[in-house]
Amino acid sequence: MPNTESLNVAVVGTGYVGLGTAVMLAYLGHHVTGIDIDERKIEMLRRGELPIYEPGLADLLHASESRLTWTSDYAAAIPEADVIIVCVGTPPLPNGHPNLRYIAEAARSVAQNLNGKFQVIVNKSTVPVGTGDWVTRILEDNAPDYHANRYAVVSNPEFLREGTALHDSLYPDRIVLGSASQEGIERLRQLYRRLLEQDFTPPEGVPRPAGLARPQFVTTSLNSAEMIKYAANAFLALKISFANEIAGLCERVDADIEEVVHGIGHDQRIGHRFLVAGAGWGGSCFAKDTAALISTGAEYDYDMPILQAAVDVNRHQRQLVVSKLQRHLHRLQGKRVAVLGLAFKPNTDDLRDAPAHDCITRLMELGAQVVVHDPVAMEQARREWSHLSYQEASSAYDAVRGADAVILMTEWQEYHDLDWEQAVASMRRRLVIDTRNVLRQLPSDTVLEQIGRRRVQETHALPMLPVGASSVHV
């Protein structure tokens, strides 16, 4: 795709955010070099292989490969870059503060290789308020022949959802830029012009939504841009925890959470998005961002009880899943429990803060035999969850065979489309705990437990069935 306004861009970090950003900018016509100190990742990318799973990313990578370079050498990418985008991780420390070690290392490495022309250093990582000023100090201390107007630091928070990252990148609802440098803002306006004008040809697998409005171009101070990212994620976490708290009351008063959120979501002040009950939120953002805001408040002797309550409700939801199981099976010692879904959400292999991890951990503590399946995240779990003891199943049907219960933890389409009549017929007891409220019709002799919903399928007793016994649809 020709682009007369193409820039040389360096992207530091090839995780979920950095990799998607690099490939998207290359697709829009910029010349992009991705930098990562992990040589394994770099070699994979040079071979055209992805170190992560994200729908559509492989196709876009191959379509843009002529404008993509991968390296572990800062000196090969930074000197000629017009824009340098930092996308490294900021994992939480035990006290809730984000660990800024990787930001500092990246900033020093970038600074040491700046070449003296005007360059824009963009922080896309999620960082506490004040980090942009801190990065500026690192540049001052480490850049050769530093000059105050030579380098601009801009905060450009990302608002991507794993599983739909390409859609969110190409069709954003807003682009937020925070900086004291107007020249830096204008450089990034040039970088994102095609997104702002929406004048690019959409990739085949990521069509432009009908009636899409052009993204809002929001400019702020550095501090406000950094706070916008935290505040956005905290508010979404609040909506989920609110829905879960209402769901708990719904179960007690014989109301249905899905009917309730459908009704209140039509209020334009509330909306339907993220107002979903289930096993709680997970992933790389919500937990660490709420913790970071709470810990920042504590630094200034400022309590944040609403955010703390959202965290507490989320923690409770993970225990609720096993409590529902115990209500029917009582003692779990020796029981066989199938867990369907390991990733924190569908269409990703990301296991960070996945509710399934806490569920499996608790099942192990109670003596259950755990069998798991996930369409994508099994290999990742072997590396990251080696401390857990469970059996892997090659298919969902193999996982549920002979099980005393099934817990649906991730709403993969594969599980929604499962032949549940065949699946439950192979179970020892026909108990399904659907933590994502996606299942509707199961065989009539199956107990279906969901979050905040009426039990429309339940018998007075939960009999033990011979494996393979037949069943009939409702």
Q: What are the catalytic residues?
A: 285
Is 117 within any annotated ligand binding site?
no
Whether residue 278 is annotated as binding a ligand: the answer is yes
Q: What's the CA gap between 329 and 320, in Å, rounded?
A: 14
The DSSP H or E segment spanning 227 is helix 222-253
User: 239 a known binding residue?
Assistant: no
Flag whether 36 is marked binding. yes
- Give CA–CA dist 339/393, Å, rounded: 10
- For residue 12, give the nearest of 133, 113, 116 by alpha carbon: 113
Mapping DSSP to helix (H, G, I), strand (E, B) and coil, where does residue 3 land? coil
Closest CA to 315 of 245, 406, 230, 393: 245
- In our burial notation (b when 16+ CB lie closer than 10 A, e otherwise), range 370-403 reads bbbbbbbbbebbeebbeeeebeebeebeebbbeb
Q: What angle do CA 421, 372, 440 make, to 5 degrees?
A: 35
**269 labelled as ligand-binding?**
no
Closest by CA to 435, choosing from 403, 406, 407, is 407
Does the annotation list 229 as a binding residue? yes
Is 335 assigned a ligand-binding role in the annotation? no
- Determine if residue 348 is labeled as part of a ligand binding site: no
Report how far residue 149's alpha carbon sits from residue 360's, in angstroms, rounded to the nearest whole number: 54
Residue 60 φ/ψ, nearest 5 degrees = -70, -35
Q: Consult the annotation and say whether 392 binds a ligand.
A: no
Q: Tokens 């820039």 map to which residue?
A: 7
Measured at the alpha carbon of residue 50, what is the angle toward residues 413 and 171, in degrees to the nearest 5?
A: 65
The phi, psi pair for 425, rounded to 5°, reads: -65, -25
Q: Is 161 annotated as a binding residue?
A: yes
43 is in an annotated binding site: no
287/304 Cα distance (integer angstroms): 15
Q: Find out whether 164 is annotated in a ligand binding site.
A: no
And the tokens for 394?
């090659």
Reported as type and span, the H/E element at residue 295 is: helix 286-299
Q: What is the helix (H) or strand (E) element at residue 224, kind and residue range?
A: helix 222-253
60 is an annotated ligand-binding site residue = no
What is d(CA 264, CA 272) in angstroms, rounded to the nearest whole number?
A: 8
Q: Is 342 among the annotated ligand-binding positions? A: no
Alpha-helical (H) ranges within 112-213 are: 131-142, 165-170, 182-191, 193-197
CA atoms within 13 A on the CB side of 465: 23
Q: How far apart are CA 467 and CA 357, in angstroms?
A: 28
334 annotated among ligand-binding-site residues = no
Tell me, what DSSP letter sits at residue 78? S
Q: Is 276 annotated as a binding residue?
A: yes
Asked whether residue 148 is marked as a ligand-binding residue, the answer is no
Residues at the binding site are 36, 41, 90, 126, 159-162, 229, 274-278, 282, 288, 345, 352
Residues at the binding site for NAD(+) are 36, 41, 90, 126, 162, 288, 352
Residues at the binding site for substrate are 159-162, 229, 274-278, 282, 345
